[in-house]
Structure 1
Amino acid sequence: MDRRRFLSRSATVAVGAAVVGGPFQGLAAHAADADGTGADTRHGRPGGYGPLKPVADERDGAVRLHLPDGFRYRSFTPAGSPMTDGAPTPGKHDGMAAFRGRRGTTVLVRNHEVNGPVGAFGDAARAYDPATGGGTTTVVVDRYGNVESSRVSLNGTQMNCSGGPMPWGSWITCEETVNGPDVGNDFTGADNGKLKQKHGYLFEVPADGTSSRVPIRSAGRFAHEAAVYDPVTGAVYLTEDNFGFASGFYRYLPPISPWVGGRLRDGGRLQMLAVKGRPGTDLSAAQRPGAAYDITWVDIDDPDPVFAPGTTNDQAIQAVGNQGRAKGAALFSRLEGAYYQRGVVYFVSTQGGATAPGETAPDGFGDGRGQVWAYNTVTRRLRLVYESPGSARLDLPDNVTVSPRGTLVLCEDGDADNFLRGLTVDGRIFDLARLEPVVGDAGAEFAGATFGPDAHTLYVNVQSRLGMTFAVWGPWHRGGF
């Protein structure tokens, strides 16, 4: 979208600010199918596309996805395969966004959530930190997953989990870590002493170029997950996935509009969400149907703290969030994917809610199987859109996007089979795809779902050591997408 079109759309949004709220405005916290009135999730449900069946990959004939009747797919750029710039494709494909390319193509900017001091992929001389193996790749494809070109667009970062597309034509990629030479190791066998730079920041990647590899430090050093931009308030909203501890919901207020120079500037103000009049509210716990809260924002005084020698990774990863919680910020469980639509930020709490009867609470902070929240940026009101009643309905949602009809697409990161689920505007969950188990790579999961510019194709990653990207197309008009 060019600048003139974006400003025109922004004006339209601002004029209609009194009625923003998105398609889920009236939805209760527990969806209509939570009482068992919907069909079994494994056999399709209202709003869906019917039962799933194994479908062969059009690239090589292998079965990697289970899809409804009439849907097809092609995988591309698997980990280790050479890109057109000569660099090997890194693994751990994760968050992703689609931009309009030339001659009907789609430009995908894609994260790679690689941890540890394993060395940078691509040209190490250009890397932010030559010791680390995360970053982004940019792939130009057609609507059927045929690759035109692929290249390194950011290297030398670490644990690039999710992020968000910016309407001025950039992808903001987020590091889900605070590793660096100044903090202790995050897992047994790691060696942060080999790192050359501090990590835990946002980086901007132009869709038509490469990143400057300069971090946006004022947006905080914490376990970043996703980022979305709101043209009404001019804020970038940020989620935090702090696996073993409470997480927060943030906003970054840039010092200059991103439209000045076409990029997100450092030097702004970081804030954290708090429930108005109820400091320290624990929103990771089970919520009543239709739960809603008026919220306020508290300032983070030191978004990029200096750590004393001997600081552990657990201490460092809570340092920014603890500043907000000391001022009354709300507690969430593992905030992951986020998406902006019509004045509302939808975001996912992966382990929010109560433990379902007969199930075991997952490891980490939070006992439930997932929540979906909606924050109205104009009214400053937070609502619970959906809370999973158990893993059979929704199992640990992660990345999220939205279809042209307003249905949310949720990528699961569950303990058993992982699905792409749809959540319709009237609160019905249905299955779109199931990932065939990856031999020798049990942690494989869906990530980075995003529709192409013409909505013909859903692009989605499998996040694993043997990761790859899929282009999925079919009769979308038959169901909720």
Structure 2
Amino acid sequence: MERRTLLRAAVIGGSSAVLGGTLWRGAAYAAPAQPGTGPYGALGAPDANGVRLPSGFSSRVIARSGQTVPGTSYRWHNAPDGGACYADGEGWIYVSNSEIDPNGGASAVRFSAAGTVTAAYRILSGTRTNCAGGSTPWRTWLSCEEVSLGYVYETDPWGVNAAVRRPAMGRFKHEAAAADPVRRVVYLTEDETNGRFYRFVPTSWGDLSAGTLQVMVAGSATSGAFSWVTVPDPDGSPTTTRTQVAGSKAFNGGEGCHYADDTVWFTTKGDNRVWQLDLTDNTYQLAYDDSLVTSGTAPLTGVDNITGTASGDLFVAEDGGTMEICVITPDDVIAPFLRVDGQSASEITGPAFSPDGSRLYFSSQRGTSGSSSGGITYEVRGPFRN
């Protein structure tokens, strides 16, 4: 029996290309996911790239840190992290952050309709520890600084317009962002052991230069009702944003964030949880918790970036763990989708689907070397559920 009720499929605010190019089916979890047989079957032996995949899927390396992206003259950045895809005519663009300090920033790779790399270039420079981020319905990339009093930078995936710092979105250790075109807000995670979950309400939708930063207020339980309260001083100095509002709910190491059809999911790596907020009735609960796995070994630890597909499947990357991307299905089954062998000193970052949903991009941030200069960015092709 499905614990997650499929509500509908809809293109939200014309933003399908930014949110993975798919029609989303909304869903609401009734209980944390449990291990089971995934929709793609067992993982096979490592391929030539050291990636274990289900039958019917294949991988290729798109770029390596410090090396020229094949087919271009651009040298790929170190420590590739959060990413997203954007439709570009008949092709698409994959953007990727660089989690180094100083001189982090972000880069992009452009693909033709056939998937051939046609260009690679820098879209953000001179920033620090750009970890995750998120897409906007107006097709920009929000690159987030994971440092104390860090900023959000709004960037152009095409590299035409200069990146713009968005201080109104708050100064804290930013991690991920997810746009909600229905409520016209952007959700934000904070990577602190006592981090908070925020939303930014722009004065004008489509313009992030001004607006109101709010924080989630709720009890200490793992489920219940929540509300939003305005953060008095988004600048976070001298009082940090996470300590300004009494009753704001603490989360242990906020990481990835994903919005789809009146639901927002976000992850916390400190306790290996995936949280789910039902935005129609302002309630929250756990979608996954490794400590609540009732049989066998928890398949997902080091919970990090998150994305999804039209089928309602969620794809969650591991920071460490066994270097897997796991899938959580609409009936609350969690299983490994892929595993990268021989890279135990790295982490999986930046999962994002091409606009047609047929290709998954991700990076191993430190590759086989365990160093930020050893990052590897991959593409996986195959029969993804849509």
Identify whether the pair has TM-score above 0.5, normalized to the shorter chain: yes
Counterpart mapping for 1:283-294 below 5 A: 287=222, 292-294=223-225
Highest CA radius of gyration, 1 or 2?
A: 1
Counterpart position of 2:126:
156
| CA offsets 1:199-235 (integer angstroms, 9 cap, x no match) | 6011111222345333111111111111111112111
* Residue pair 1:274, 1:330 contacting (<8 A) in 2 also: yes
Counterpart position of 2:380:
472
Give the match's secondary structure for 1:106: strand
Q: % of aligned pairs identical?
A: 30
* Residue pair 1:145, 1:470 contacting (<8 A) in 2 also: no
* C-alpha distance in 2 between matches for 1:405 and 1:342: 13
Counterpart position of 1:400:
306
Give the match's secondary structure for 2:46: strand
What is the TM-score when the length of structure 1 is the normalising length?
0.70
Counterpart position of 1:419:
324
* C-alpha distance in 2 between matches for 1:344 and 1:171: 21
Give the match's secondary structure for 2:270: coil
Which of 198, 202, 205 is the matching residue for 1:257?
A: 205
Which of 176, 182, 186 is the matching residue for 1:232?
A: 182
| CA offsets 1:157-203 (integer angstroms, 9 cap, x no match) | 1111111111111111111102xxxxxxxxxxxxxxxxxxxx60111
Q: Which has the higher strand share?
A: 2
Counterpart mapping for 1:31-430 below 5 A: 31-33=33-35, 38=36, 45-56=37-48, 63-82=49-68, 86-102=73-89, 104-115=90-101, 132-142=102-112, 146-178=116-148, 200-210=150-160, 212-242=162-192, 245-258=193-206, 264-275=207-218, 278=219, 281=220, 287=222, 292-307=223-238, 319-324=240-245, 327-352=246-271, 370-389=272-291, 392-415=298-321, 417-430=322-335
* C-alpha distance in 1 between matches for 2:231 and 2:120: 39
Which of 448, 453, 468 is the matching residue for 2:355?
A: 453
- Name the amino acid aligned to 2:180: D
- Name the amino acid aligned to 1:80: G
- Name the amino acid aligned to 1:468: I
* C-alpha distance in 1 between matches for 2:261 and 2:124: 30
Counterpart position of 1:358:
none
Superposition deviation, residue 424 in structure 1 = 0.8
Give the match's secondary structure for 1:156: coil
Unaligned runs of 5+ in 1: 11-19, 39-44, 57-62, 116-131, 179-198, 259-263, 308-317, 353-369
Q: Which has the higher helix share?
A: 1
Cα separation, partners in 2 of 1:383 and 1:211, compared to 1, 3 Å:
farther
Superposition deviation, residue 46 in structure 1 = 3.9
| CA offsets 1:83-118 (integer angstroms, 9 cap, x no match) | 58855321111100001113x322111111112xxx
Matched pairs, number: 358
Give the match's secondary structure for 2:168: helix
- Name the amino acid aligned to 1:293: G
Cα separation, partners in 2 of 1:99 and 1:336, compared to 1, 3 Å:
same
Unaligned runs of 5+ in 2: 1-10, 17-23, 367-371
- Name the amino acid aligned to 1:414: G
Superposition deviation, residue 468 in structure 1 = 2.0
What is the TM-score when the length of structure 2 is the normalising length?
0.86
